[in-house]
Amino acid sequence: MGSDELVIAGTALRSRLLLGTGGFTSLELLADSIAASASELVTVALRRIDVGAHGSLIDVLTAAGVRLLPNTAGCHTARDAVLTARLAREAFATDWIKLEVIGDEDTLLPDAPELLRAAEELVDDGFVVLPYTTDDPVLARRLADIGCAAVMPLGSPIGSGMGIRNPYNIALIREAVEVPVVLDAGIGTASDAALAMELGCDAVMAASAIARAQDPVRMARAMRAAVEAGRLAHGAGRIARRTYATPSTPTEGLADLAPSPSPLT
Amino acid sequence: MIVVNGERCDAPAGETVVAVLARIGVAEDARGVAVAVDGEVVPRAAWSSFALAGDARVEVLTAMQGG
């Protein structure tokens, strides 16, 4: 369908599916899933080095030809998130950062004041900031106003597979900001990804939904198809919902099939 | 005592970041590695000159599956 590219901070991506690398049980499975998803933007975390680790995640991702999106997962304060972003910039030679500042251990929901503080500091420091945020349109606008390159509202809590709990807010966020909206967190299966795109999201991020599926490679392919289908459907413009039926076949010219002859009129 | 990734390290005060990395088996040109000392980033270009204090806390980080 020609060039329908996702553009983030001036960088064009053909795929509108972002892939998280967490949860894959092997690097081979991760590589196969990346290929099946056709994703070009893939998240990584930053953790203490394990010198004895088998295989290199960086090597696998380099071979896959994807762009890295380091995250600040596990950070609970703006200070930690900013420092982690700076370390990620050093480690991966990218100024792109998926900014996560978690405010609650059970729900992994973002801490809005800390998130705004960190976003402001990182934007000032030249980062391309993609913040993981709640489905609050006002907060999303604040993040965009600060200069974030995209906003990444959650559909439901990370890893919950609960899909999009407030589709109205997601649609409002799409109206509220100019920057790309990437539905992040909560995707459980392909129809959730399709719904996100139908609501007008510019991209979808999937991690657990693929990595923890019984067949991750097949689910990666399903997510790719769902994102494309949802994008097409959004552009095509769906019909209005209505309570009563509207016949799709004309009623004019309907045959008279009564069993007894009807009198000529 | 210098602490590297939460573990005691025998390195003496004044040892460089590069030397401490060598102790734990990380090459100077290792890809995808970042170092923080006492909560501040030490850029790769400074690894060979940065001398660690006797009580430095060194974090050596790399890519891990996540997100």
Residue B67 covered by a domain: no
Give percent helix, percent strand, percent coil of chain A, each to the nearest 5: 40, 20, 45
Q: Which residues of B touch A (CB under 8 A)?
A: 5-6, 24-26, 31-36, 39-41, 43-44, 59-67
B64/A91 CB distance under 8 A: no
Query: How far apart (Å, rounded) are the C-alpha atoms in residues A193 and A183?
Result: 8
A87 CB within 8 Å of a chain B CB: yes
Q: Which of A47, A90, A207 sits opposite B44 (nearest CB)?
A: A90
Task: Using CB atoms, pick whichever of A45, A49, A90 lies closest to residue B43.
Answer: A90
Containing structural domain, residue B24: 2-62
Whether chain B has a CB inside 8 Å of the CB on A245: the answer is no
Predicted ipTM of the assembly: 0.92
Total number of domains in chain B: 1
Residue B20 belongs to a domain with what CATH number? 3.10.20.30
d(CA A218, CA A39): 14
> What is the rounded distance in angstroms from the CA atom of residue A136 to the CA atom of residue A176?
10
CB A44 within 8 A of CB B63: yes
Q: What is the pTM of this model?
A: 0.90
Domain presence at residue B49 = yes
- CATH code for A6-235? 3.20.20.70
Is B67 in contact with A61 (Cβ distance < 8 A)? Answer: no
C-alpha distances in angstroms, B53 versus A6, A87, A225, B41?
47, 20, 55, 15
> What's at A5, amino acid-wise?
E
pLDDT in tens, chain A (265 residues): 457 999 999 999 999 999 999 999 999 999 999 999 999 999 999 999 988 776 789 999 999 999 999 999 999 999 999 999 999 999 999 999 999 999 999 999 999 999 999 999 999 999 999 999 999 999 999 999 999 999 999 999 999 999 999 999 999 999 999 999 999 999 999 999 999 999 999 999 999 999 999 999 999 999 999 999 999 999 999 999 999 998 888 889 989 898 877 666 6
Q: What are the domain boundaries of chain A?
A: 6-235
Q: Is A98 a catalytic residue?
A: yes
